[in-house]
Structure 1
Amino acid sequence: MTTPYPSQELLRTLCKPWLASLSPQHVFRMYTDTSDFYAIEYGDILLLDGKPYLVRHNAKEGRFGLDDDVKFWVKRAIDLQDGQTRIIKLVFFERFTANIGGIPFECFRSPRKEARILDMVRGHPHFMQGFWVLDDRDNVVRIIDIIYGQTLSAMIQDIRADHETYFHRQLPGILDRYIACVEAIAFLHEHGEKHGDIRRDHILVDQDTRLYRWIDFDYNFLHRENIFGYDLFGLGNVLIYIVGKGDVLIQDLHEKNRALFDAIRPEDVNIVFNNRLANLKIGFPYLPKRLNDMLLRFSKGSTVFYDTIGQFLDDLRESRTDLVG
């Protein structure tokens, strides 16, 4: 069934608040088929399930501090019916193999998986919210509410305190909110779903509620032994980042603290990112043993890994009791 196009006159009226220099003769390009997302540009109209959206710009990737990697399949747009800004995720298929501790994971983007999870977590405070529609070519388009706030990594980097002060004053509260965030992933696992791309920049700190909220769960992965294993490694890496008040980089220690660098053994580094320290007690001797033992589960020297998120949560809750505050 073909979606009826709104008139150009109506579109000019609806878009005028956001396009101040709009000509009375301007003709909008309209798309009901989003397959060629590269062709959809600023000022175009997406007509999805009969609703018009004014495209503003492409989203950018913020991973590892790089803010200039444009994601052409993710559009920031104005919902012309209510005036709200939305994130519109178009269909983009990507596939790669990740290797963690010698275990291969075949990873790929799955718009339908993200659509399923959006339905599942509707109303859940620790996940991004939105809905999905099919365009005229049956592409699964996800329409996401914007969460205003920083990434978890940016929030931690903005804390102006030495590590020991951070450990005593900020870390207990941060761990409490992180535990609630991990419980949200447990909710997915209990329902047979996984996040698929757990990273510290996929947790946003909602500026209104201060809750930690998961975004971007369109990655899926295949692994015959433990379908949740990739999520668990991601949670461990986030925990190391939180406890360390950022990454403790081996190269930085080599340049700035040679005595500490010389104490590091090969098995003390992160099992995924070998340029990061996992055995943080070497640098921060006041870390409780149970908490550091958790971090060591994600070190190159570990021979025991978490099989379930329940095991991870149990240890995390017990470790939290060792912190005052």
Structure 2
Amino acid sequence: MPESVRALVERFQPPVSVRSYGQVFTDTTEFMNIGYGDVIALGGKHYLVLGDESERRFGMEDPKFWVKRCIEMECGKYRILKLEFQETFDQHIGPLTITCHRSATKEARILRLTAGDPRFMQGVGLRDSGGNLVRVLERVAGRRLDLNVEDVHADHREYFHDIFPGILERFIAACRAIHLLHQNGETHGDIRRDHLYVDHKTGDYCWIDFDYGYDSVENPFGLDLFGLGNILAFISGKGVHTIQDVDAGGLDITEADCALFFRHRVVNLRKLFPYVPEDLNRVLMHYSAGSEIFYETVPELLADLEPCLTTLRRA
């Protein structure tokens, strides 16, 4: 290995021995060949690879071989490097099938747009020697929102009255952040509850992962809006409630009470929890299979959702 890189490894003494040091990569095209102990040289900095990132969904680990956990050896700080991965695939959202693709260029644009804004993950896009657009990301000092909600040790009534108003206030701020993207002609593209993090220090919410783009969608902001609705139903219900879950209770739940895209998920929460205010339930029902009117912009959603926060605080 080059002596200068060896000196960096020895200086910061990361959790990998110098003896296990691999290659220095300036071209990340063959990202499957880059692994533990290798170094990525990029933009005048050196990133020691500790492993691949993975995403946990539906109880399964989904490895992301193009996303590397690293240490920036010039400063010793943790970084995530998203290497360029050209992929086109069909995403299934309920009954819809939408062709989407990963776009490093789109994500780099959003990183530039939101630089310094704590509502979004921070980072920069840099070209490697092979022309690949690598996103060098700072670690979000927080935890997924959905895990925080699931870990609340309270029944739904206590959660809804004592904890949920604070969560809703921060969620509204996160919606405004998405509106900023839309105002600039951008979309998040993959709004899910595991892509919204809670900052450990401030409690504020931070969006991650902006690299999804769609080939043809009638309303380019529509999928972001439905993603926000899914998160709203989750935080309002303290989890996902399905027809199968509530059938045993003998409740009169129909398809019209369930989500438009996920017909097994109940969004008419007043049928499950009668103390949910009507104004909040009306917002949720805009995302139901029985609705004829759907939100097309974030301001439309917030015009109905913000008064709900006042209602909750008066309760």
Give the corresponding residue for 2:166.
Answer: 173
Give the letter aligned to residue 37 of structure 1. Answer: F
1:250 Cα deviation after fit: 2.2
Task: Give the structure 1 partner of residue 24 of structure 2.
Answer: 30
Residues 95 and 106 in structure 1, CA contact (< 8 A), matched pair in contact too: yes
- 1:161 corresponding residue in structure 2: 154
- Say how many residue pairs are matched: 312
Q: Distance in 1 between matches of 2:30 and 2:264?
A: 39
110-119 vs 215-224, which moves further: 215-224
**Secondary structure of the corresponding residue to residue 312 of structure 2:** coil
Alignment partner of 1:230 is 2:223: yes
Which residue is equivalent to 1:14?
8
Counterpart CA distance in 1 for 2:306 and 2:239 is 21
CA distance in 1 between counterparts of 2:97 and 2:222 reads 11
Deviation of the 1:314 alpha carbon? 1.0
Which sits farther off after the overlay, 237-246 or 222-231?
222-231
Superposed CA offset, 1:74-111 (max 9, x none): 00001011000100001112223346576653321111
Give the 3 Å change call, closer, same or farther, for CA 109–21 of structure 1 in structure 2: closer
What's the secondary structure of 1:324's corresponding residue?
Answer: helix
The offset of 1:155, in angstroms, is 0.3
Which position in structure 1 is the counterpart of 2:237?
Answer: 244
Give the aligned partner of residue 256 of structure 2: 267
Q: Unpaired runs of 5+ in structure 2?
A: none
Describe how 1:8-157 pairs up with structure 2 within 5 A.
Answer: 8-16=2-10, 17-19=13-15, 21-23=17-19, 28-66=22-60, 68-98=61-91, 105-157=98-150
Query: Post-superposition shift, 1:65?
Result: 4.1
Measured in 2, the distance between the counterparts of 1:12 and 1:292 equals 60
Amino acid at match of 1:279: N
Deviates more, 1:40-49 or 1:104-113: 104-113
For residue 197 of structure 1, give the secondary structure of its aligned residue in structure 2: coil
Point out the more displaced range, 110-119 or 284-293: 284-293
In structure 2, how many angstroms separate the alpha carbons of the residues matched to 1:135 and 1:84? 20
Alignment of 1:142-221 (within 5 A): 142-221=135-214
Instruction: Give, in whole Å, the separation in 2 of the partners of 1:252 and 1:103.
Output: 24
Rounded Cα–Cα distance in structure 2 between residues aligned with 1:101 and 1:303: 17
Percent same amino acid at aligned positions?
46
Displacement of 1:45: 0.7
Deviates more, 1:244-253 or 1:174-183: 244-253
TM-score w.r.t. length of structure 2: 0.94
Distance 1:112 1:236 in 2: 27
In structure 1, what residue type is equivalent to 2:245?
D
Residue 4 of structure 1 aligns with which residue? Answer: none
Are residues 127 and 269 of structure 1, via their aligned partners in 2, closer, same or farther at CA, if it must alter by over 3 Å?
Answer: same
Residues 21 and 37 in structure 2, CA contact (< 8 A), matched pair in contact too: no
Given residue 235 of structure 1, which amino acid in structure 2 is its aligned partner?
L
Measured in 1, the distance between the counterparts of 2:238 and 2:307 equals: 20
Shift of 1:22: 2.8
State the 1:298 CA deviation. 1.0
1:313 is paired with a residue of what secondary structure?
helix
What is the identity, as a one-letter code, of the residue corresponding to 1:39?
N
Judge conservation of contact 2:70–2:78 (CA < 8 Å) in 1.
yes
Could you tell me how far apart the structure 2 residues matched to 1:230 and 1:20 are? 42
5+ residue gaps, structure 1, are 1-6
